[in-house]
Amino acid sequence: MVAVERHRVVVVGAGVAALSAALELGEATVLVDAGLGSGSSPWAQGGMAAALGPDDTPHAHAEDTVAVAGGIGDAAVAESVTGAAPEVIAWLRAAGARFDTDRYGALVLGREAGHRARRIVHARGDATGAEIMRSLVEAVRHNPRLRVQEGVTVLDLVRDEHDERVVGVVAQGAGGDLTLHLADAVVLGTGGYGHLFAATTNPAQVAGAAMAMAARAGIEVADAEFVQFHPTALAVTGADPLPLLTEALRGEGAVLVNDCGERFMTALHPDAELAPRDVVARGNYAELLAGRHPCLDARAAVGDGFPERFPTVFALAMGAGIDPRHELLPVSPAAHYCMGGVATDAGGRTARAGLWVVGEAASTGVHGANRLASNSLLEGVVMGRAAAQAIRAGWRTATATDDRHGPTATVPQRVRVARSAWSAIPADDAAELAAIRTLLWEHAGVVRDETGLRSGLAELARHAAGADGSAGNTVRNALVVAGLVLHSALERTESRGAHFRADHPEADPAQAARRIVRPQPAESVELIVEPATERIGESATDEVGVRDRAAMQAIMAA
């Protein structure tokens, strides 16, 4: 016997995009692995971009977004995201988010790399993500129509028998039991895949779950090669993830120097430290390769104001034994944000009916090959709300007899699930996961080439063969995502945005397009869900039998 829960909508994720979707829906079941507010959203220091100043416009914000996108940013999607930004700030403030204001109550606007104007809204200086998540988590907790299940690991998507629609997810509880969560709509907001690199600013939950699940279901993914490496992670030995030193420090005048005291970015780009992140990251990486150690010097720009202006960074540095008021901050590039993800439109709709993907888990094309600073929190809220609005519009237009837009009907239903998920998933092998993360960092890191990428693929194949169906869920996902990243980076024989090939250092106009891939679906099993005796409210829970049809046929044949 396997539990089957029936919902109207299942939202998977704990970050800004998932919770924004849940709040906009007003009724949903939220499935969370580590707990509400986990993931990368609370770690965001830089802020949220919105054209609110008197000399700024959403169109100018969109132009800046496209300008750093490596020639493949979707201008229409950028306009829709930046156009929604002022209203998003108002929505978050109404939800309880407390942004920084001046003594007259006006929002304080900062500037970051790639922005032509001061348009970055902050909270508590450098704790913007944490403050936004505080307000969203409280709002979700206090909404009686949002049901939250924590400690639940979603393993794979559930599709209908014709593989035309996503009809739910299969998840594993803390005790190892499997549950089929059947729903009219599934919203994935599980974050990107940045933690799959050994040097990263991302927590362990950001490990590519959405992309891996979509790939196993044969759903399109896009731009997996485009991974943004933040140039200024605090280089602390043994830290995982590496603490982030916000872009806002450079926006306020902090500069990069090496351990010889030389300021090196002025020779690499006219905007020096305010150049696009990929340029700055490669500048820092080149110093490391040359045997020099890059450092961020914020002594003159911030100095004694650190505890008040950048309390998060100040606490991180002091915890590492560095006083940033008087000392240089050693830095290193680290995987930070993924432009690639499950291919969607501007509202998170995928090519498979019933499935929406939002936030960093999705690839809308708005970031192209390189994300503009402080656009990630904004995109997460915009996409989460847009997906919810589209789902609700489907409810309104459904006829009274069309039960596809109500709770899943309690009738026999044949569904398909990836075979690898249809058993209790063992605990992850920490050493195996660490090896895959090192592989990606070494072969698909800040600078790539054909030799390294092919070597990485060969090494990954050995890991996949060794897994032999016994891998834990994070390793199982990592094998899929690492393969997509390495293959996509190998096929893009040019340098564009965050993707830099040392053997093809120039951009190729013929490759100025997004790369959409439809993976071969993994082997699946067909399950027959037996009818429940009754439906209990909007989210019915029934203990029903689930049979592996293929296994039953084999038994009967024997």
160: left (phi over 0), alpha (psi -120 to 50) or beta: beta
Q: Which of 289, 154, 293 is nearest to 237 (CA)?
A: 293
**Cα(350)–Cα(345) distance, integer angstroms:** 7
Q: What angle do CA 47, 51, 57 make, to 5 degrees?
A: 155
Tokens 């060969």 — which residue? Answer: 458
Q: Which of 212, 194, 211 is nearest to 203 (CA)?
A: 194
Tokens (6 digits) for 127: 């704790």
**Cα(418)–Cα(482) distance, integer angstroms:** 19
Q: Specify whether 277 is catalytic.
A: yes
Q: Which of 90, 166, 157, 97 is nearest to 127 (CA)?
A: 97
What DSSP letter does each residue of 390-408 carry, written as one string?
Answer: HHHHHHHHS-TT-GGGSSP
- E strands, 465-540, in order: 516-517, 524-529
| Helices and strands (DSSP H and E) totals, the chain | 14, 22
User: Helices 75-94 & 58-67, crossing angle to 10 degrees?
Assistant: 130
Asked whether the beta carbons of 65 and 375 are under 8 A apart, the reply is: yes
Q: By CB neighbour count within 10 A (0-12 exposed, 13-18 middle, 19+ buried), where does 277 fall?
A: buried
Element (H, E) at 214: helix 209-216
Asked whether the beta carbons of 242 and 199 are under 8 A apart, the reply is: yes
Asked whether the beta carbons of 5 and 181 are under 8 A apart, the reply is: yes
Asked whether the beta carbons of 356 and 230 are under 8 A apart, the reply is: no
Interstrand relation of 146-150 and 227-234 (parallel, antiparallel or unpaired): unpaired
Catalytic residue, candidates 119, 159, 277, 496: 277
Asked whether the beta carbons of 438 and 453 are under 8 A apart, the reply is: no
**Cα(104)–Cα(376) distance, integer angstroms:** 28
Taking CA atoms, 488 is separated from 138, 444, 447, 455, 481, in Å, by 40, 10, 14, 14, 11
Tokens (6 digits) for 259: 């351990």
Asked whether the beta carbons of 389 and 345 are under 8 A apart, the reply is: no
**Cα(379)–Cα(80) distance, integer angstroms:** 10
Mind telling me the catalytic residues?
Answer: 277
